[in-house]
Amino acid sequence: MNSILISKWTKAVIFLLCLVPLGILVWRGLHSDLTADPITFITHTTGIWTLRFIVITLAITPLRKILRIPQLIRFRRMFGLFAFFYVCLHFTTWIVLDHFFNWSEMWQDIHKRPYITVGFTGFVLLIPLALTSTAGWIRRLGGRRWQALHRLIYITAVAGVIHYYWLVKSDVRAPLVYVSLVAILLTWRIAVWFSGQHQRAAAESVRRKSSAAPNLLDSASPRRPGET
């Protein structure tokens, strides 16, 4: 298992698998098989794959800790970048096929339709994460700042599920599945953060007590002659 996970071939295979949704779209496009409403079909396919890759990216850390498979971290950046890749396709479909570069119409859409406003916010927040995903940027920002910046992915995930929930008109079962997944992953994160805070507070109080102990002894001991 370990050797499979650290093999460069596994990474290559997963990379190709991540391209399968795009491959299917292209294949169906070439065979005029994009349903009666191709623009909606492309928008929906790229949108749902964006959300799936966001959820997969967020699930890597809990999975690697719960299943004790640290090597899973090797794939997190790739999944995150695929989320960005599919949202770029999703956004480009909206710009090119939905609005034919009509910027004022698009601006109105972002202003007037809350689900577009929220989706757009999610997209904008992914941009700095994609740009700073390299080892060079981790070094430049420093681990702590880089991690703090990359927590934006949680806001994107929340924006993504709200966007999906709001745009679905009747059957909300599928959006609710994603709402639940994001809620579970966020709760896990918050629980880990709280237990970390608790452990840090406990360690701090032990440290304080142990540094205070000699002083107490000092003040309890009788003064020697000549001491002030």
Q: Binding residues for ligand HEM, per CB under 6 A?
A: 40, 43-44, 47-48, 50-51, 54, 87, 90-91, 94, 116, 119-120, 122-123, 126, 156, 160, 163-164, 167
Cα separation, 85 vs 79, whole angstroms: 10
Q: Decide whether 21 or 160 has the Cβ nearer to ligand HEM.
A: 160
Single-letter residue type at 123:
F
Question: C-beta of 138: minimal distance to ligand HEM in Å?
Answer: 23
In the complex, which residue's CB is closest to ligand HEM?
A: 47
Q: Please report where in the chains the tokens 């710009």 appear, as a residue.
A: 95
Question: C-beta of 93: minimal distance to ligand HEM in Å?
Answer: 8
Question: C-beta of 17: minimal distance to ligand HEM in Å?
Answer: 20
Question: C-beta of 29: minimal distance to ligand HEM in Å?
Answer: 17
Q: Decide whether 51 or 60 has the Cβ nearer to ligand HEM.
A: 51
Q: Decide whether 5 or 179 has the Cβ nearer to ligand HEM.
A: 179
Nearest to 14 by CA among 110, 79, 104: 79
Contact 51, 178 (CB under 8 A): yes
Q: Decide whether 80 or 160 has the Cβ nearer to ligand HEM.
A: 160
Q: Decide whether 106 or 141 has the Cβ nearer to ligand HEM.
A: 106
Question: C-beta of 177: minimal distance to ligand HEM in Å?
Answer: 11
- What values do phi and psi take at 32, rounded to 5? 50, 50
Q: Decide whether 50 or 75 has the Cβ nearer to ligand HEM.
A: 50
The full DSSP string for 83-152 is HHHHHHHHHHHIIIIITTT-HHHHHHHHHH-HHHHHHHHHHHHHHHHHHT-SHHHHHHH-HHHHHHHHTH
Contact 35, 25 (CB under 8 A): no
Single-letter residue type at 178:
Y
